[in-house]
Amino acid sequence: MKINLKQELVTQWFKNLQIIICKNIEEIENNKVLFKSKNWLRNKKKNEGGGVSKLLKNGKIFDKVGVNFSEVYGKFPNELKGKIPGTKENTKFWATGVSIVMHMRNPHVPAMHFNTRYIITNHGWFGGGMDVTPCFKDNKLKKWLNKNLKTMCDRHNKKYFKNYSKWCDEYFYLPHRKEMRGIGGIFFDYKKDNWNKDFNFVKDVGLEFIKLFNEIIDKKNKIKWTKMDKETQFLKRGRYVEFNLLYDRGTKFGIQTGGNIDAILMSLPPLAKWN
Amino acid sequence: MKINLKQELVTQWFKNLQIIICKNIEEIENNKVLFKSKNWLRNKKKNEGGGVSKLLKNGKIFDKVGVNFSEVYGKFPNELKGKIPGTKENTKFWATGVSIVMHMRNPHVPAMHFNTRYIITNHGWFGGGMDVTPCFKDNKLKKWLNKNLKTMCDRHNKKYFKNYSKWCDEYFYLPHRKEMRGIGGIFFDYKKDNWNKDFNFVKDVGLEFIKLFNEIIDKKNKIKWTKMDKETQFLKRGRYVEFNLLYDRGTKFGIQTGGNIDAILMSLPPLAKWN
């Protein structure tokens, strides 16, 4: 597929973001636990892109963290025709993205999720966001998180935070449990207002995520935890699994478009429990 | 909703089956671990039926086993209109069923699943089946299981086994993993050939399940297991979670029709792992 400058710029940014974040995480682990990297191809017979999935497990701080980059293209399966913007006439697509899920050892450090993506069909758009899932009610963290995200969003557009935090709350919701998954964040999709501004925003979302996860780990990892806290975390991770398999668009998109299954399901926690 | 004799007979059979099987399981546990029982209502405001969900946990033989009975009625949500047989004109339904999932302590004893159901919309039909999911390749068990199920099916109709075991293999399949969930069993749905014969078959499926799970536990629970075997089981249970949340019709049906969420998700293992 022909790559234009925009596609090239975004792809490079996502690739670099993956490298920067992985380095950062390894430093948090004092470089004693390192990422394992896997390259995969969407199609072994013809060139339809692929990705690099990076996984770190059993750290002192991170129980499991997956950092995935992918750049894939080709055709959507027919069942998606017309269901994704710009696919009414044909199912050609090109997509790149980076996505991260962190499951933490200390139950007082929330699970954190980040994704930014750029998708092209008949037209192109950005999507992404980040959200935070603690095991325990934490209004202080929620306030702090929202304040930071609002400041970041406001740099780009005063309406973003209100819209995207609402979208996040609506998206990360488990209707069968009548529960929110986490305490909020931002979520956006089909973003195609002004390419330069949109790309700047997407870059800023990535940099903000780096700042926030470092601060959250600093703040929360000091708190002592008990075996009971860990049990609470295992049950909360059960909800995480339920959300990702029952509702998450990224998971569905990945499975339906023949993505790499290990990369797609890297978001699942290392261990989950159900009562 | 008016209950006719057929509905009454099936409901009574399912209720009794739940009681018999729970007693059987408690006996296997030497009556030292007992089921906890919960009654639930589909709708707290108006009479739309409900169920009895029974759960036994942390036994010597069973890690977790759920045995659910339900009898629910009312209207399907509009999104299901026309998607379930006999709902084109209206969404009224009545349904009863019993379903069981056993997650075993010894990783050499397979997980076992059973369900029989009777659903009425504009017309009525039976569905159900049973299937077996070991953590390790086990061709001998597979052969033995199929032989037994074939003998049982043949008592009713010589075509049943071939059709229903094929349906089972197709149904309990994880396309994203390109893996079968288990080693087979039988699965049938929309069964409305001859009410008396169908009901006899459904009863026999229940009795056969009792015979088979007892024999399987007898046979397999003697095998010594290691910590490594248990780890293999935890990963296999991850696949079980994936299937139930991504594909299982019963789970989807339950969630979409406002069933009791704890009863629906009782099928999930107590602990699952992902690499």
Share of chain A above pLDDT 90, in %: 88
pLDDT at A2 over 70: no
Burial B120-147 (b: 16+ CB within 10 A, else e): bbeebbbbbbbbbbbbeebeebbeebbe
In the residue annotation, B113 being an active-site residue is answered as yes
Residues of A whose CB is below 8 A from B275: 262, 270
Mean pLDDT of chain A: 95
Q: Of B43, B38, B24, which is closest to residue B263 (Cα–Cα)?
A: B38
CB contact under 8 A, B176 and A255: yes
Please tell me the pTM assigned to this model.
0.91
Contact B241 A245 (CB under 8 A): yes
Write the burial class of residue A33 (CB in 10 Å: 0-12 exposed, 13-18 middle, 19+ buried): middle
Catalytic residue numbers of A read 113
Q: Which helix (H) or strand (E) holds B103?
A: strand B92-104
Q: Nearest 5°: CA angle at A131, between A125 and A133?
A: 155
pLDDT band at A1; cut points 50, 70, 90: low
Is A265 in the B-facing interface, judged by CB distances under 8 Å?
Answer: yes
For the structural domain made of A5-137+189-267, what CATH number should be given? 3.40.1500.10
- Whose structure tokens read 């993505």? A259
Nearest neighbour of B274 by CB, restricted to A255, A268, A274: A268
Using the Cβ of A231 and the Cβ atoms of chain B, whether some distance falls under 8 Å is answered with no
With tokens 């009791």, the residue in question is B260
Of B242, B261, B270, the CB nearest to A273: B270
Q: What are the backbone dihedrals phi and psi of residue A131, each rounded to the nearest 5 degrees, phi first?
A: -155, 160
DSSP string, A8-46: HHHHHHHHHHHHHHHHHHHHHTTTSS--EEEEEES-SSS
Residue type, A46: K
Give mean pLDDT, residues B30-36: 98
Say how far apart CA B52 and CA B69 lie, in whole Å. 5
Give the residue carrying structure tokens 């092209």. A120
A273 Cβ under 8 Å from any chain B Cβ? yes
Task: Map residue A185 onto helix, strand or coil.
Answer: strand
> For residue A213, is pLDDT > 80?
yes
Chain CA centroid to CA B106, Å? 20
Q: How many CB atoms lie within 10 A of CB A255?
A: 16
Q: How confident is the model at residue A253 (pLDDT cuts 50, 70, 90)?
A: confident
Of B43, B52, B54, B85, the residue nearest B71 (C-alpha):
B52
B207 touches chain A (CB under 8 A): no
Q: What is the mean pLDDT of chain B?
A: 95
Q: Can you tell me the mean pLDDT for A49-60?
A: 96
Catalytic-role residue among B113, B123, B156, B176: B113
For residue range B94-148, what is the model confidence (pLDDT) as tens digits? 999 999 999 999 999 999 999 999 999 999 999 999 999 999 999 999 999 999 9
Instruction: Measure the CA–CA gap between B9 and A157, rounded to whole angstroms.
Output: 65
Task: Give the mean pLDDT of A94-99.
Answer: 96
Strand partners, B267: none
| Spatial distance between the Cα atoms of A201 and A192, rounded to a whole number of angstroms | 11
- Determine whether the interchain pair A265/B274 forms a contact, defined as Cβ–Cβ distance below 8 Å: yes
ipTM associated with this complex: 0.88
Look at residue A132 and give its three-state secondary structure: strand
- Residue B1: pLDDT band with limits 50, 70, 90: low
Q: Choose the closest CB to A272 out of B176, B177, B272.
A: B272
